[in-house]
Chains A and B, each alone.
Chain A
């Protein structure tokens, strides 16, 4: 199981700042979103617009082995400024 950090609207939807998810290897942005959608189907619409960060860096097509992953986060559309 991996700890996945949640923020903003996503954290609000599941009332948690982080969740434990089983992630398939190799880990990619898609596997993180799929695992989240499976455990929390109500987040599916928001997940479509989310980015994924691994080790505090945005990822798209990169893949990771479990031992390379220190931190995973789902990033809803940002709105700073």
Chain B
């Protein structure tokens, strides 16, 4: 099973976790990215996420299917819109037979989402607005 989405409403973390649960899988690893206030000396007040939604869903589906084929349930959901501090921006979850592959595949998924899924953040910092955040 895999489930991917671009969400315009707050993420329901419990509901996304529930999608992963499966008696054949004994390890579930989830990663949740949230809006952080401080990046070194830069203070963030909010982040606005936008996406090339159709392509983002295609890219996330390719990734999810790739990991699912190894033997896992996969959930990838990314928020768009205006997010406040501590709001959940992304949920990546993997249910696998054992913890080692669940950790590995979850890390692979979030890293690859950040590299190639067409989603952008416009970060509102106290000194200025930054596309993509501090470099």
Contacts and interface: CB of A to CB of B under 8 A. Distances in A.
A24 to B, nearest CB: 24
Interface in B77-135: 78, 89-90, 110, 113-122, 131-133
Interface residues of A, number: 17
Interface stretch (A4-12, A26-34, A36-44, A59-67): A4-12
B32 to A, nearest CB: 11
Nearest to A56: B55
A57 B52 CA distance: 12
Interface residues of B, number: 26
Contacts of B51: 80
A78 B131 contact: no
B26 interface: no
B10 interface: no
Interface in A47-81: 53, 56-58, 73, 75-81
Contacts of A56: 52, 54-55, 58
9 contacts: A7-B120, A8-B131, A57-B55, A73-B55, A78-B116, A78-B119, A78-B120, A79-B132, A80-B120
